[in-house]
Amino acid sequence: MIPAVTVIAVGKLKEKFYLDASTEYIKRISRFCRINVIELPEKRLPEKASRAEIESALSSEAELIRSKVPTQAKIIVLAIEGGQLSSEAFAEKLENFSSRGIPAVCFVIGSSYGLDAAFKKECEKISFSPMTFPHHLARVMLLEQVYRACMLSNGSSYHK
């Protein structure tokens, strides 16, 4: 069984194809577990922002993220330096949270500048690939993998 899932994403989906894909996967996932997607505003920065301005913005975003994490949720951030999992291992990880009494998992996707370093240190990290993806696409990829985990957990043939 998959625990309740929250996805906190910094930045708003604007492109219709990302919105359509996200909506479809949320609908599919909701048949198996509670799913909540929270969009947070990305801090506005000047075009040529300094490293200090970026770090300040990421720190502010991290505080807002922390305020939205559900109580008792396991926090997992999507970060390029995170470990990679097969779809089966990802499904097993989610199932194990439930069996260990963890009621919810909260995935966090940062802004186009990433996530605050101190916040990332507090969290488990996973990566889809050593490649960099747009954070909007990462959201769709995450939702698809959560759906795939639900299907694997329920013995479906979706995963091939």
Q: Which CATH number belongs to the domain containing residue 101 in this structure?
A: 3.40.1280.10
5 close to 153: Cβ distance less than 8 angstroms: no
Q: Give the pLDDT score at 53.
A: 95
Could you tell me if residue 141 is inside a domain? yes
* Sheet strands side by side (includes 124-126): 35-40, 4-10, 104-109, 73-83, 124-126
Could you tell me if residue 160 is inside a domain? no
Could you tell me if residue 41 is inside a domain? yes
State the total domains in the chain. Answer: 1
Could you tell me if residue 159 is inside a domain? no
Q: What is the pLDDT of residues 57-103, one digit of tens each?
A: 999 999 999 999 999 999 999 999 999 999 999 999 999 998 899 99
Could you tell me if residue 147 is inside a domain? yes
Structural domain range at position 106: 4-153
Position 159 confidence tier, pLDDT thresholds 50, 70, 90:
low
Q: What is the pLDDT of residues 117-146, one digit of tens each?
A: 999 999 999 999 999 889 899 999 999 999
- Using CB atoms within 10 Å of the CB of residue 47, give its burial: 0 to 12 exposed, 13 to 18 middle, 19+ buried: exposed
The helix (run of H) or strand (run of E) holding residue 21 is helix 16-29
More confident residue, 156 or 29: 29
